[in-house]
Amino acid sequence: MEENPGSGQDSEWNSWGTSLKLLPLRARLQETLNQLSPQELRDFRTILKNVDVKPRVKELRLELEGSNAWGMAQLLAKYYDSQAAGRVMVQVLQQLPRADLLPRWQSAPPAVPEARQVIPRKMAKRSCDCVEDELERYDLSGKRKAFLMCVLKNRPGAQHDVQMMKKWLDYCRFEFESCIDPNKKEFLEKMRSFRDELNKIKDGIGCCLVTLMSHGEEGFIKMNNGENVSLEDIFEMFNNKNCPALQEKPKIFIIQACRGEKRDFGVETDDEPMDSDDGSEKRRLPTFSDYFIIYPTQAAHVALRHPDTGSVMITAMYDVFQEYGNKWHIADFFTKVNNRVVHREFNLRKEPVKVTLVMESTLTKFVYF
């Protein structure tokens, strides 16, 4: 069972992505880039490295952020104003060659005032400058599918979690289906149906994200009538054997549920700094790979949910995303979320209580939404 601890921006941003519009330049860039095939987009990235327009886009940022049309449009709009972007597009499209796309860039468009950016795009050093070159990022140009399950019954504040998660998924361009207050049979049927649909569109899938929010205990999540469902059984549905559509693609699980009854009341501080190779020619994968699982608390411990504002972890996700947008690698994003959670003060029945998030990962590349 979760515990209830006691203890903001522009109107555009308060809708958290649903009404947020691309700036005019970004919209024009993406409109053009959407016309390119995957191979042409790769060639575009290669040509861009040698384009004679300053400032030059760093090669590492091109690799990390320019793997799809949306990311490339964001990157170019960040580096160039409208005139410079026009010169870049003309040079690249001429070499590509895509003469059919040149007219829209050869004549400068009327000046459009740049709207004030409502999502700060602060770049984590790990995201750009300090990433190991050999570690690639996942290609998320395919469909992003998500499943959102939440038990509202006897969980005051859970409705806020649903609203925040839906806005986050929408902004990160996930197609998602919701499953609210299911019993065990309903949940498992919908979960298997979701998995089976992924397998039907195998080549078109970029990644999968499953969010489960309810009461729970170690290794289990509870349905609306108190029935337990094994988390291991859920994870197994999406492994490389049972869900081939997700082989070598990221499988993200966000679990908002207790993992036991223990409570961490914290400690006072003095504030001082303190594969084996069998020779087989056929390539193989481990049964479980490319997973990223986030828990709201340590094993055997309670999770925290405020009846007025929602779960501590989901609220911290909302706050961090408001401040930094979606430019963090997912592990760095949740590290920042954890920093917020760890350093916040909570009280449970007039006693201080602390929580820390737990991440489990078998990812083999970086994940940027």
| Rounded-to-integer distance, Cα 330 and Cα 253, Å | 12
| Rounded-to-integer distance, Cα 291 and Cα 286, Å | 11
Q: Which residues contact 275 (CB under 8 A, 6 or more apart)?
A: none
Three-class DSSP category at 260: coil
| Rounded-to-integer distance, Cα 145 and Cα 167, Å | 14
Residue with tokens 């469902």: 229
**Long-range pairs, 269-275, Cβ under 8 A, ≥24:** none
Which of the following is catalytic: 258, 301, 306, 329?
Answer: 258
- Residue 230's φ and ψ, nearest 5 degrees, are -70, 130
Which of the following is catalytic: 160, 215, 301, 306?
Answer: 215
Is 208 marked active-site?
no
Tell how far CA 232 is from the center of its chain.
22
CB 295: neighbour CB atoms within 10 A? Answer: 23
Q: Is residue 215 within a helix (H) or strand (E), and if so which, with residue range?
A: none
Is 258 marked active-site?
yes
Three-state DSSP string of 25-93:
HHHHHHHHHCCCCHHHHHHHHHHHCCCCCCCCCCHHHHHHHCCCHHHHHHHHHHHCCHHHHHHHHHHHH
| Rounded-to-integer distance, Cα 342 and Cα 266, Å | 10
> Between the CA of residue 279 and those of 240, 276, 282, what are the distances in Å?
21, 9, 9
| Rounded-to-integer distance, Cα 304 and Cα 351, Å | 14
Q: Are 210 and 253 in contact (CB under 8 A)?
A: yes
| Rounded-to-integer distance, Cα 265 and Cα 299, Å | 15
Q: Are 18 and 327 in contact (CB under 8 A)?
A: no
Which positions are annotated as active-site residues?
Answer: 215, 258
